[in-house]
Structure 1
Amino acid sequence: MATITSAGIGSGLDIESLVSKLVSAERTPITQLTKKTEGLKTELSAFGKVQSSLATLRDAAAKLTSPSTWGGTLATSSDPTSVSVSAGTGASIGNVSIEVSKLAQSQTLVSGTPYASSTATVGQGSLTITLGAWGSNNTTFTDKAGATPITINIGNGQDTLSGIRDAINSSNAGVTASIVNDANGARLTLRSTATGETNGFRIEATGGLADLSYDPRVGVTSLIQTLPAQNARALINGIDVSSESNSLKEAIDGLNITLLKTTTIPASVTVGQDKDSIKKLITDFTAAYNAVNALLREQTKYDEGAKTAGTLQGDSTAVGLQNQLRSIIGGTTSLAGSIGRLAEIGLEPGSDGSLKTSETKLNTALGNLDSVKKLFMGLDGTDSSNDGFAQRIRSYIDGALSTDGRVSSRQAGLQKLIDNNNKRADQLEDRVARTEARLRARYTALDTQMSKLNGLSNYVTQQLAKLNE
């Protein structure tokens, strides 16, 4: 709500305007201080961006100083449609021959008698499913260690083909049931959930479910076996390997092998250094450096034509960061043998301080991976200025971003100036408020006195007028 005042009524003076102008003059230092504070906040925000960009560069450099980066391997298969491979920790560089004679598979049974539809009634009773391994010609059966036979009771409302399917699937018996429709009708198919010889199964049926029993040991084959449970078999470097699944994770240390189909000729697996991943990390490092360089260049620039300056133009911390990073990138190291500069592997510093990548040079350099490794992560031991480039960049940024580093110190200094300005602005606001109150009191008193004098003047004038009558 606006304040209503009668100041000036008695004297005729425009006291409100007079006080407003005087208070406005008193507020001039606050306006100037606020403008300075906004400038400081803009600088602090700019350093926040610099800090974030530097952290990204440090992380990119750290990856190039990690031994695991340079120890990474890549596995390839000459026949990836038959044998798929991937290298993990501990994979040894070399070649492996893999010949696949069998794929691991699940035992599969199908009902011999077709039904009119999935809703056809089969019968009531029980099915007991036991997991295990069948012997030669299915004449023997060895129960699977640790597995317990599961009995499934089929009652009224479950005795249709689809009802039995659902009951089996919800029993967790290690067998999956489904219905297949062919030209003769609907058939129930049963398939062991897991592959491998020990995941075969037999079925005992009671009541009206005799058509769903399977135990060839005793001549019960109401269900027909279409696929036997079997292990995968492969010759790996001439050694016979058997596995319950088609994923061979322990056959060769550090190598994950997946068998997809049998082979007519051995698949050749080659394990080598993962140059593609290293190249990507080098590219990421280059991009992160260029981002920092572009940010600092933008923040510290001065446009002579437009007479405009970047937020951090002339800031010694920002300029120092820019110069030091460019100095490191353009420097040399003697740790990598014949390679001493980044330009020699295709990372060429431009006139604007950025790095330009020559794909041809970089690809050629990666043929001598040990030297490239030392170029980035080498440690001199006595002279840190001779360390690899990634080591130097990471070390420099770690220092700059540390609690007492130049970036952190500059941010803390700017924040302190902002806090001091805010505190001073509050003090000035209090002073302005007191000044306004004092001025209003003074001019109100003056207004009152002027009103009294005006009243006295009017009285004297009236009395003189009466004397002249």
Structure 2
Amino acid sequence: MASISSAGIGSGLDVSSIVSQLMTVEKAPLQQMQTAATKIQNQLSAYGKIQSFVSTLRDAAAKLGNPTTWNSTAATSADSSVFTASTDGTAQAGNYALSVQQLATAQTVASPASAFPVGAGVLRIQDGAGGLAVDVSISAGDTPAQVRDKINAAKAGVVASVVTDASGSRLLLRSAETGADHAFTVKEVVPDGLGGETTSTTGDLAKLTYDPALPAAAGVNMALTQAAGNAKATVNGLAVESATNLLSGVVEGVTIKLAKVSASPVELGVSNDTESIKTAVQAFADAYNQLNKYLSEQTAYDPTTKRAGTLQGDSGTNSLRYAMRGIVGGTGTMSGSYQRLAQIGLDVKKDGSMAVDATKLGNALGGKLADVQALFATKDAAVPANNGFAVQLQKWGDDLLKFDGALTSRSDSLQSRVSDNTKKQDAFNDRMTQVEARLKAQYSALDTQMSRLNSLSSYVNQQVTTWNNSSE
């Protein structure tokens, strides 16, 4: 009989190896559970991606089902160097003649080049729009840059800067906002001789003061280089005025940004923004194709590699794919010239993908915008079958994604299976720990018993040899 020759504890039995081999057999079911867990996790991950793709498609459909998308307009300028324009959801299509007579300007004053060095004092800056006057303390010997920084830090409604040329450095003050109301004055605060104070343009800081209401000699005060003024324009012959170069509300829903004076009227056109609608339709098609492609990949079977997609044979996924294809490939009962998406250039192919014919879509939007809107956005609470395709797909997505929807329920079910599998593996591992301990105890006892038998055999053999030797 062959014997186990591995080193044992006195018996020759390799207890560790024997127990390890037996445990490999005992643990075979664990591998099956781990394989099952991996499969479930892959399915759970796949359903997570499906939920994301469905959410994207639902949101794209919701945009096409929103009247705001279809009511959007765009404004164009026949000469963008004169003005540009943008619209909001309230603008109505139409054409307007706009001419610009004057741009809004900010008041600017400049000190004489001989203004520095300066003495000590307080400058009081008053914005003509009625804000509180702001006082700025000036120290003797302050440089133009130091005066500039003090004025800017005071936030008095003016912006100070320094211009330096061959004649020296001059301080420039510009109103922070355009418009006639933002004309400002700069005066020096001086004692009034009665224990109080007054303002002056003839004190130590006279060359940094400006007041158009008082006479001033050249080089004594700051000089006006640009007066504060409002923008002036005419829209279809109607004179309009604005403190800024933005005209808001002159044409309802349109904001016009003036850029320069025009010698003659420039056309402002407001029309339906079909480009933004095309973008929304393309986003809808892209979201649909993304979901369709993923579902096809996950349910496919490759006979060459004999590999199946993660969700191959999954009835829920197949139902999902058939439902979405059924919606976009169906015929609607909404009013208007169109009842099928293919009629406006959205063709559903054999593989379920959607191709967008840009020319066909553009023609439909340009010629029958209201009918295209009806195809997507019709809402009929009494007869849901009359709903537009975007409305149908939005509801389909909402139903799938709600807390008790098919996708949510399926994901919850898979997550529950993952948890159950984990519990089973934990229980199995606990049981295997007990089995391994029992096997080690049994084979250790066998090892001890065989060690004793080996010792007894050696003793008997020794006694027989001794007896034989004494008999000779």
TM-score (norm 2): 0.89
Q: Structure 1's 451 and 150: CA in aligned 2 closer, same or farther, altered over 3 A?
A: closer
Whole-angstrom distance in 2 between the partners of 1:275 and 1:173: 47
Paired residues of 1:246 and 1:260 also in contact (CA < 8 A): yes
Task: Show the counterpart of 1:95.
Answer: 95
Secondary structure of 2:398's match? helix
Whole-angstrom distance in 2 between the partners of 1:188 and 1:265: 38
Whole-angstrom distance in 1 between the partners of 2:81 and 2:381: 49
Paired residues of 2:125 and 2:133 also in contact (CA < 8 A): yes
Whole-angstrom distance in 2 between the partners of 1:252 and 1:455: 113
Q: Deviations over 1:161-217 (max 9, x none)?
A: 333222222222222222223343332222211111111122324543222333343
Task: Show the counterpart of 1:166.
Answer: 149
Whole-angstrom distance in 1 between the partners of 2:412 and 2:428: 24
1:339 offset after TM fit, Å?
0.9
- For 1:10, give the aligned amino acid: G
Paired residues of 2:68 and 2:89 also in contact (CA < 8 A): no
1:69-468 maps to which residues of 2 (within 5 A)?
A: 69-113=69-113, 120-132=116-128, 144-145=129-130, 147-158=131-142, 160-204=143-187, 205=201, 207-221=203-217, 222-367=221-366, 368-468=368-468
Structure 1, 229-238 or 358-367: larger mean CA deviation? 229-238
Paired residues of 1:177 and 1:191 also in contact (CA < 8 A): yes
Q: Deviations over 1:18-58 (max 9, x none)?
A: 21111110000011111111111111111111111111111
Q: Structure 1's 422 and 214: CA in aligned 2 closer, same or farther, altered over 3 A?
A: closer
- For 2:24, give the aligned amino acid: S
Paired residues of 1:7 and 1:447 also in contact (CA < 8 A): no
Paired residues of 2:120 and 2:204 also in contact (CA < 8 A): yes
Q: Deviations over 1:73-129 (max 9, x none)?
A: 2112222221221111322222233221111111112234457xxxx5233333222
- For 1:199, give the aligned amino acid: H
Structure 2 spans left out of the alignment, 5+ residues: 1-5, 188-200
Task: Show the counterpart of 2:198.
Answer: none
- For 1:363, give the aligned amino acid: G
Structure 1, 230-239 or 277-286: larger mean CA deviation? 230-239
Whole-angstrom distance in 2 between the partners of 1:387 and 1:88: 27
Provide the alpha-carbon RMSD of the alignment: 2.0
Paired residues of 2:179 and 2:244 also in contact (CA < 8 A): yes
Q: Does 1:14 align with 2:10?
A: no
- For 1:273, give the aligned amino acid: N
Identity among equivalent positions (%) equals 44
1:336 offset after TM fit, Å?
4.1
Whole-angstrom distance in 2 between the partners of 1:426 and 1:151: 78
Whole-angstrom distance in 2 between the partners of 1:54 and 1:449: 69
Whole-angstrom distance in 1 between the partners of 2:8 and 2:385: 77
Structure 1, 244-253 or 290-299: larger mean CA deviation? 244-253
Whole-angstrom distance in 1 between the partners of 2:224 and 2:203: 22
Secondary structure of 2:76's match? strand
Q: Structure 1's 37 and 218: CA in aligned 2 closer, same or farther, altered over 3 A?
A: closer
Structure 1, 361-370 or 267-276: larger mean CA deviation? 267-276
Structure 1, 443-452 or 88-97: larger mean CA deviation? 88-97
TM-score (norm 1): 0.90
Task: Show the counterpart of 2:38.
Answer: 38
Paired residues of 1:7 and 1:444 also in contact (CA < 8 A): no
Paired residues of 1:332 and 1:386 also in contact (CA < 8 A): no
Whole-angstrom distance in 1 between the partners of 2:302 and 2:82: 63
